[in-house]
Chains A and B, each alone.
Chain A
Amino acid sequence: MTRRNFASRAAGPLLLGVPTLFLLALFVVPLASMVVLSFWRTENYHIVQDWNVGNYVTLATGGAYVTFLIRSLVMATVVSVVSVAVAWPVSYAIILYGGRYRLLFTLAFAVPFLTGEVLRVIALQGLLGPLGLINGVLMALGAAPLRFIMYTNVASAIGLVYLYLPIVVTVIYLSLLNFDARLIDAAKIFGASPLRAFFEVTWPLNLFGTLIGFALCFIPCLSATLAPRFLGGPNGTLYGMAMAQQFGESGTWALGAAMGVVLFLTSILAVLAIGMRVNLRRTGFTGFGRG
């Protein structure tokens, strides 16, 4: 075997192997340890290694954990739908009218990322809170303050949309950027009105990108901690927030680990549920190669 031949043979395993090791070390191992921990117990801030399913029983029956999970699912769904609904016209407008400033517009959406999540949530608290900008101005004008944005689930939802909208805009923008807009011309020539052309061509061909945007918003929303904590009210506890408490104040790490496993499975199920409904061919996906 020649040297070059060997190099080209080694390239495949090497290029695939390194990411595999990376995934194993940083993703699979921590996750596995989390699963193991979820079948142990914590007592007085100590981990007790006796195998049991008590944590899962607690999650299924005790307290408000099921409520938190359902509330989180509803919250994540609403936030993701709103984000997609806002991101679509914004991305579309950037593609259509952005001209040479397209990239600049897209980057501008990422600017809030530069400040960090805590700061962004605090800033929003300053906007929505009882003494915040909106209600402060309203009260100064002698009007009644808007109660539904003060420490409520609506406030949490606004916060989450604010946090994840840039991601959704970026993903949908990239999808539209790869979309051949001349297909719209073709649809129009063959008798489709502009609205019809959108639903026949533009929407299905960007559905895949839209769903990725949806998932990239939905999944972090499920485990969101900061926004509900600072913006949500007494009825605003979300699953992610409750989970964070297990690792913090309560010190019930094993229960927290079990919550993490449930969250992980829920996210996987959500992604699968979306994925099963999508026929990639119907989104113009061409990654199958020819034939």
Chain B
Amino acid sequence: MYITLDGVSRQYGSVWAIDRVTMGIARNEFVSLLGPSGSGKTTLLRIIAGLERPSQGRVLIDGVDVTELPPHKRGVAMVFQEFLLFPHRTVWENLAFPLRMLKLPAAEIEERVRWVVGILSLGGLEKRYPNQLSGGQQQRVALGRGLVGRPKALLLDEPLANLDRELRQEMEVEIRRHQTALGIPFIYVTHNQEEALSMSDRIAVVRRGRIEDFAARTEIYDRPKTAFIAQFVGRSNRFEGTADAGGNRLATRCGARLALPAPGLTPGSPALAFIKNEKLRLDAAGTGAASGPNRIACTVKDVILRGAYADYILAFGERELNASRPRSERSFLAGEPVLASFAPGDIDVFDEKGEQAA
């Protein structure tokens, strides 16, 4: 592996902010560290950068143990959430900074800055100061400063958090394109699952200083390994219930009955189930049997148009369910009775510890 974290831990006082993290990142790989705020993902990034020292464990970059190396000797670059451009330097000087530190000849600095100005479409802004740029432009300069020195890896700490939605989606595509073109690993810290899903090859879900799971993005989304991931990634309907005697059915507290694809639950034990909003199929009430497992008769409470699809808020007894359906399907109006159904394979079930159960 190109970058290796080997049993890395970081202690603050009596709290383990990072707890025995071991992971490997390949060259060419785009990896996201996804987790809620305070989960330790930024600390992990700062440990790779050398801005923070691990209390235990080792960090290897390109086969070299860099655990004891200060940040300026690691050859990695970083893009910060607050951009942290040098306010007393022009765009050109900001971009040239990493190259000056590498003591490159002036001609090469000129050529490389020109290259990065080109790929990030910063032409015409070279003589401006950071406070004369828009947020999006500052972001591009920050990204350019990260790429210009051809680092061994680019670390990105929530770089899009301060941009508006439209700009963010544009930048997601762009960041991914540069990563593919340059062939260096990008390690991307975010609490935004959409960003992680749209760009990453693999996603590491971080929770309380530990890696909950580190797997391909489709794996993380489609087959969440723990209840935490099922809850955190994607938008789901959550059911609490008790396993029946066979261990393959779940009677939920809200009154629904779920049939699982395979038995795996301890009979009689409490369990958690998640069904992604888009896996909930909607049919007009009265088509087929209304009762039975994996079928829930409910009423449309509200419809939220999202453009290509619509979000339905459904009333089922005391609780609400959420379904997300493409607009190409038959649409329903508020107040209409509907039948929500789902396939057994679309249920993610976990035992009371949150571990995968079936």
Q: Do A and B come from one complex?
A: yes
Within 8 A of B (CB), among A258-291: 281-284, 286, 290-291
**Secondary structure at chain B's binding surface: helix, strand, loop or mixed?**
loop
Interface size (B, Cβ < 8 Å)? 24
Q: Select which of A180, A192, A205, A283 is within 8 A of B101 by beta carbon.
A: A192
Using Cβ atoms and an 8 Å threshold, which residues of chain A touch B71? 185, 188-189
Q: Does B145 contact A (CB under 8 A)?
A: yes
By the criterion CB–CB under 8 Å, are A186 and B84 in contact? yes
CA distance A187 to B76 in the complex (A): 12
- CB contacts between A and B, total, < 8 Å: 66
Given A182-B80, A196-B101, A291-B132, A189-B86 contact (CB < 8 Å)? no
Q: Does B88 contact A (CB under 8 A)?
A: yes
CA distance A187 to B98 in the complex (A): 8
Given A290-B131, A291-B132, A190-B88 contact (CB < 8 Å)? no
Using Cβ atoms and an 8 Å threshold, which residues of chain A touch B82? 182
Q: Select which of A180, A191, A284 is within 8 A of B84 by beta carbon.
A: A180
B binding-site residues for A, Cβ under 8 Å: 49-51, 70-72, 76-78, 80, 82, 84, 86-88, 97-98, 101-102, 129, 131-132, 145, 149
For the complex of A and B, list the 9 residue pairs with the smallest distance between their C-beta atoms, beginning with the closest. A191-B101, A284-B87, A190-B98, A284-B88, A186-B84, A188-B71, A189-B78, A286-B131, A191-B72
Can you list 6 contacts pairing A with B, beta carbon distance less than 8 Å?
A182-B82, A185-B84, A188-B72, A190-B97, A284-B88, A286-B87
Interface size (A, Cβ < 8 Å)? 26
CA distance A291 to B51 in the complex (A): 34
How far is the CB of A265 from the nearest CB of chain B, in Å? 32
Chain A, Cβ-Cβ closest to B98 = A190
Given A286-B131, A290-B132, A185-B51 contact (CB < 8 Å)? yes
How far is the CB of B158 from the nearest CB of chain A, in Å? 14
Name the residue among B50, B51, B101, B145 with the largest chain A CB count within 10 angstroms. B101
By the criterion CB–CB under 8 Å, are B86 and A191 in contact? no
How far is the CB of A111 from the nearest CB of chain B, in Å? 33
By the criterion CB–CB under 8 Å, are A205 and B88 in contact? yes
How far is the CB of A287 from the nearest CB of chain B, in Å? 10
By the criterion CB–CB under 8 Å, are B86 and A183 in contact? yes
CA distance A291 to B128 in the complex (A): 9
How far is the CB of A209 from the nearest CB of chain B, in Å? 13
